[in-house]
Structure 1
Amino acid sequence: MLGPLVSVLLFLTAILTALVYFTREDQARERETVVRDTEYAQQRLRLRLLERQEQVMRLARDLANHALDEATFVAQAENLVLQHSELMALHWVNPFREVVSGFTSPAAQPSAAWRHGQRLPADFAQGAWELARDLHQPVYSRPLRQGDGSWSLLLWVPFEHQRRFGGAVVAELSLENLLRYGVPPEVLARYAVTLIDESGAVLAGEALTPGPRSPLSRLPWAARPQSHALSLSPVGASVLVRVEGLRAQRDRTAEALFWLVGAMSAATLWMLLANMRHTRRRLQAQRALLAETNFRRAMENSMLTGMRVLDLQGRITYVNRAFCDMTGWSAEELIGTSAPFPFWPEADYDYLMARLQDEITGRHPPGGFEAPVKRKNGSIFYARMYVSPLIDAQGRQTGWMSSMTDITEPRRIREELAASYHRFVTVLDSLDEAISVAPLHSQELLFANRMYRNWFGDGLAGHERLLELCAAVPVLPAQEVQDHVDHLMGLPADALVEAIAEHAQIHVPELGKWLELRTRYLTWVDGRLVQMLIATDITARRQAEEQAKLQAERAATASRLITMGEMASSVAHELNQPLTAISNYASGMISRLRQGRIEADELLGALEKTARQAQRAGSIIQRIRAFVKKSEPHPTLSDVSQMVANATELADIELRRHLVRLNVYQAERLPPLMVDPILIEQVLINLLKNAGESIQCAGRPPGQRLVELTVTPRRVEGRDGVEFVVRDNGCGIPPEHLERIYDAFYSTKAQGMGIGLKLCRSIVESHHGRLSARNLYNGAQISGCEFTVWLPAARAAADRPSPNGAEASADPIPG
C-alpha cells in the first residue's frame, strides 16, 4: 500500500517544486526593479529636501550676520514659499521660542502657533527645538498632523549671534506636495508611491488597495505585489518612502492544469488512505490505551508527594511509590490494611484515630493537618496530610484521597526561626537602648523593645516624638497617596540603606533625660523602606562632660597661675627696672629743684620719662592680671597681631632671664580668628616658655640660644586659617615619648606637672584647631623641636558644625 502512495506524492512534489521555482524567479526580478526604482525616488526626494534646506540655511546665515531685517526676511520667505510648492511656511523664531516674523502659504492650513509674537509651547515639535539649539545643526521634526488631515515636517535651522544661540529659522514642508513634485512622473506612473512613518502609517500618497486575487495567489509560495521602503534622508527614520508595484495577471491555463493535477493526485491519495483507515484506527486505540496507562503509572511514580486512597470503610486500597519511599513499607504490606496502620506511631494512636474519623466523615480541615509518621525502621518524621473525596467516572464517591508531604525540614527550620526570633527579642529587650522601627510617614509601629515601651509606651507616639525633637535626623518628605502601597516602592533606596547611621543628641523633657539618637534606613522583610531609631540614655555622660569641662577651665586657670609663679622672679626683675628709673628720676628732680638748677623744659622732660616708666610698669601688671584672671571662655573676633604681642611681651620676660633671644616673624594681613584671646595667649606663652626651658636644658651657649615664632596664613583641607610655629634649638623630645607628651600628668621635665601640653591641646581643639609637634634633626642628632598650632579663620570656624559635645578631631596637620 505504501508504493502507490509514495509515487503519487513524488509526482505532486515535482509539480509543486517546478511551480514554486519559476514563481520565485519572477518575484526576484520584480523585486530588483522595485528596489532600483525606490532608490531612484529616494534620491530625487533627498535632492529636493537638500535644496530647500540650503535655501533656509542661507536665510539663517543672513540673520546671524544681521543682513536681514524683519521686512526683508518676510519678503524672501514669501518668494521661497511661492516658488516651491512643498514649502508651506517660513518663520523666524527668537531664542525664547517667540515668533518674530514669517510668511505662510495661502494654501496652507492656518495655525495659531505661528502668530507674530506667539510663544511656542515647550513641547512643540517633539523636542526638535531643543535638539537644534544644543547641536547647532539643522534638525527635522517628526511628522506633524495638520487640521485638514495632511502631514508636514518642520525643519529647524539654528543660527548664532556673537557665538551665542540667536534663534532658528523654521520651514514647514508639506509631505503631500513633496511627494507629488519630488518623485519622477515615470515612477508615479508605474508604482503606488507613499510616504509612511516607522509604524507603517501613510503620511502622503495613496497605498495600494488589494484587489481580487486568484485562489492560487493565496498559497504561501504564490507571487504577491512587490514593495520596498527606504528612510528619507536627511529626515531620518521617522519618514520612509515606499514603492508598491502591481503584478500582471497569472496565466489561467497554468492554474487550471495545476488544479487538475492536484485533484487527480488527491483522489488517488484518498483511495489509498481509505484502505489504511480501519487498521490505523485499531492501532491508534491500542497505542492510546497503552500510552495512557504508562503515562499514569509514570506520573504516579515520579510524584514526590505520597498518595494514599481509603475506601469508604477506611481500608487502604492504593499507595504510590512516593508514599512507600517515605514510610519504608511496600505497597503489598499496606494495601488492604485497616487502622491502626503500620506507619502510625504507637504513642499517637488516639490523635491519629481521631484524624482518621474526621477524614472518613468528611470533617477534614481544608488546610490539612500535621501528623507524625513512623518509618519501617522505627524513625519518626512529620508530614502534612491533605484529604479530598475520590469521585469515579459516574460521579459517585468511592473513597478518600490523601496526599502526604514530608515537612520535617520545614518544621525544623520554623522551630529554629522561632527560637532565633525569641533570642533576638530577648537580646534587644535586655539592651539599655530604646529601639523602634516604623515605616516612613505611617501610623504603624513594626517593632519596639522593652526599653522603648518603658519610656514611651506601646504606640508610635514615642517614635514620632524622637523624630520631632531631632532636627538633625533626615526624614524623607511625605507624599499624598490614595492607596496603602508604599509610595517609595520601586525607587533606588540602596544609597539610604547603605548610608552610615546619623547621630544626634536630644533632650526629652517628658523623661528628663538626654538621649543619643541614632537612625538609619532599612529594607524591611516585606520590601518596605523603614526607619530604625536607637535612643541611648547619655544623661550621666552629659553630666560628666559638663563636670570635665568645668575641671578643664579650672585647670587652665591653675596652669596660668603656675606659669606666673614660675615667672615671678623674671617679672619682679622686669618691674624693678621701671620702678628704679622712676625713683632715680624723682630723686634727681628733687635734688635739682632744691638747688634751683632745673628749667621748666628739663623738668617737663624728666616728668614725661617718669610717666612712661610708670606706664610700662602698669602695662606689665595689667598683662599679668588679665592673664591670670579667672573667666569663662568667651570666643570673640580677635586680632592675631594683638594676641601675638600680648603673649610675646610676657614670655619674653622669662626668656630673657634664661638669656634666650626671641625672634617673631609675622605675615601681613592675617585673617581674624573667632577665639578666646586669653586662652590662645596661654597656649603661646606655654609653648614659648617650654622652648626656653628646653634650650636651657640643652646647655646652649648664650649666643646660640634662639626661639623663633612664625605666624603665617595657612590653608588646611580646604579651610583658611592661621598657623603659629614655635621653633627652638633645645634638646627636643625623646622619640619614644613623642606620642605621650599630650597625656595628662605626663612630663619630660623633672619638675613638670604634666598638664601644660594637655591643656594646650584641649584649648586648641576646643577652637576646632590642631596642635602637633616634631623634632628637628641635624643628621641623626636631635637639634631642636617645633610645635605647630593651626586655628581656622573666623569664617571657616563659623561654618564648622557644632560637635554636639564630642571632642573635635586632633589629627596633626600635614608638613
Structure 2
Amino acid sequence: MRFPFAKGVSRASRRWSLWALLVVLVLALLGTLVWLAGRYESSMVQSRLEHDATEAVTDIRSGLTRNIQTLQALQSGDRTPESWHASAADLLRERREIMRLEWRNETLDVLGFVETPYRTSVFELLGRGSLQTDVGLTCTTAGRLSGAAYSTSYFMPQRDGLGLEVLDMCLPIMVAGRLTGYSVITYSLQDMLGELVGRQLARGIGLSFTEADGTRLALQGMPSRGSRIYIAQQLLDLPGNTLVVRMESRLGTPALFPNVLTALVTAMSLALLAVLYLLARDMRRRLKVEHDLGEALAFRKAMEDSVLTGLRARDLQGRITYVNPAFCKMVGVDAKDLLNQSFPSPYWPPELAGVYQQRQEIRLAGNSLPREGHESVFMRRDGTRFPVLIMEAPLINAVGKHTGWMSAILDVSEQRRVEEISRASQDRLQATARLAMVGEMASLLSHELNQPLAAISSYATGSINLLQDRMDYDQPLAASVGPASAPLSEDLQLAMRRIAEQAERAGKVIKSVHDFVRRRDQVREAVEPRALLDAIMPLVTLQARKLGVTVAIEVDETCAPVLCDRTMVEQVLLNLSRNGMQAMQAAAFEAGAAEPSPREKVLTLRIRPAASNAQSRWVEFSVADCGEGISVEVAEQLFTPFFTTKEEGMGLGLSLCRTVIEQHGGFLGFEPAQPRGTIFSFTLPAAQPHDAGPHAA
C-alpha cells in the first residue's frame, strides 16, 4: 500500500533529479562553449595582430629604404646649393615624416638645410648646434658602415608646451670612391608611424614606438585599456639603433559560438530539449497551483493588514495563535510577543487580570460561545487603558473540526470620547439656554420691580414728611407731656430714610443688572474705595448681627479712587460678604456648636494698593472669612454658571461677580486663609486725574 505522503516524496525526488540533470547539462554546455570559443578566438586575434605588426615593421623599413634611395638620387652629380635646396624642398613636401634635411661637408659643417613646411622648426627652442656631438657620432658610424646610420631618439620641446621625439639618419656622400660630405635627415617618430604604416593596418589599433624596457617614445592612435587587450611587438633593427614596434588592439573579442562548435552545440541542445520536455508537464501544473495559492495568500494578507478591526485567534488551550497588525497597533505589543501567550495576556490590566482569567476559563469550558459582542478594557504597553468591543466566534477548520476561537476587537475609545464631547456640548447648550432664560427673567423683573420700588421710595418720603410735620405740631405738647415722644419720632424718621435709601439702591441695582444683561454702556465714575464699603455696611452689619459675625475693616488711606460702576461693584462686595458669613455659619454648625461664638466668626474687609507702593494703578479689595475653606473638587467648578453648594442657591453669584470685575479690567480670584478659611480678592483700576467725572465705558 502506497501512502499519499510517500507518493509526494517520490514525485518531488524525481522532479529534483530532473532539475539537477538539466543544470549539469547547461553548465557543461556553457562551460565548454566559453572555453573553446575563448581559446579559438584569442589565438585567431593574436595571430592576426602579430601578422599586422610584422607588416607594419616591413612598411616602416620599406619607407626608410625608399627615403635613402631618394636622398642618394638627390646627391648624385654636381649640385649647386640652389638646385639642391629646390629638390630638397620638394622631397620634404612629399615626405611628411622628415622634419629637417641637411647637407654637410666632410667636416660636418652645414652647407644647406631645408625644414618641413607643415610645422615650425623642431630646433627653434634649443637650436641645432646643441646636438652637434650626436650628429658627429652618427655620421662617424655611417662612414664606418659606408651606408646610412641612425642615432638614438631624443626629445625636443616645442613652443606649444608639448614636445617631439625625433631621431637623425646620416648618409655619406661618395663621389668616385671619395667622401665629399653627408646628408642628415631628422625624422619624427610619431609621423613615421602615421606616414610609413599603411592606413588599413593602423585603423582601430594603438601603434607606438617603445624602447627595449617598454618606455613609450611615440604613439599613433588611442592606447587600449582594460583586461581584454591583445598586444604584439616586433623589433625594428636599424643600423646604429633598435626600436620596438608595439601594436595594441581590443578588436576581435572572442565570439560565444564560433562555427567550429556547431556540432557540439547541436548535440547538447537536443539533450536539453529532451530534459525540458520531461519537466514541462510537471512544471505547468505546479506553477499553476503555486500561482493560485500565492494570489489567495496575498489577497488574504492584504485584507488582514488593511482592516482596521483587530483580529485574534486562540487555540483550544487559550494560547494566541494569530494576531493581525491592527491588533498589535491597538495594544502596542509586537506580534512575536503575543503569539503562543496564554493567560494572563500582556494587554490585560493587572487589576482586572483575575476577573478576565475567570471569564476566559468559563468561555473556553463551554462548547459554544455567544456571537454577540461584549465590552472590556485593554491596556497598552505604556499602561494606558482603553475600552474595546469584543466579538468572538468558534474557529472551524476545513474538515469541520473546532480548533479554537476567533475574536474581532474594536477600539471604542474614540466613540466614547465623541459621546463625552456630545454630552458636554449638550450640557453647555442647556446652560446657555438657562442663562438666556435668566437674562430674560432679569429684564422682566427689572421692568416689573421698578414701579413697586418707586412707590416704596415715594411712600417712605411721604411718611418722613408727615413725621416732620407731626413733630413740628407736637413740639409744644411734647414739652408739657415729656421727652419720650421726640426720640421716637427721630427713630421713625431714620428708619423711613433707610427704607427710602434702600428702595432707591434697589432701583439702581435693578437698572445696573438690566444694563449688564442687555450689554449696554455702563457709566463709570471715580469713587473713593472707602465709600464703596460705607454704602454696603448697613446691610452687612444687619446680616452680621443676625448671624453672630464680627466685621473687621482694614482700609489703606493711601489708596487712590477707583474708576468703576459703583452700583455693580457694591453688589460684588455685598455678595462676597454674604457668602463669607454664610460659609462661617455653616462651618460652625457642622462642627457641632449650638451657638457659634462671635470670636470664631470674623469677616475681614480689606482695601489696599495692589502693589507694594502706594502709586499702584490698581486697588485690591479682599473679603476674608474663617470658614472651612474650599475643597479641590469645588474649586475646579467654583465660577461655573449654575454650580452651587447651597440648597437654595442658583449658582450665578460668583459667575456674575467675576464677569463684572473682568469688564472693569480686573481679576477676581481666591486663596486659602491661615489658619483656615478663604480669601476672595479682586482688583479695580485706579482713576486717573482726567477721570474725575462719570463717563460711559
TM-score range, shorter chain: 0.3 to 0.5
With a CA cutoff of 8 Å and minimum separation of 6, indicate the structure with the bigger relative contact order: 2
Give the TM-score normalised by the residue count of structure 2: 0.32
Judging by fraction of residues, say which structure has more helix: 2
Larger Cα-atom Rg: 2
Give the TM-score normalised by the residue count of structure 1: 0.29
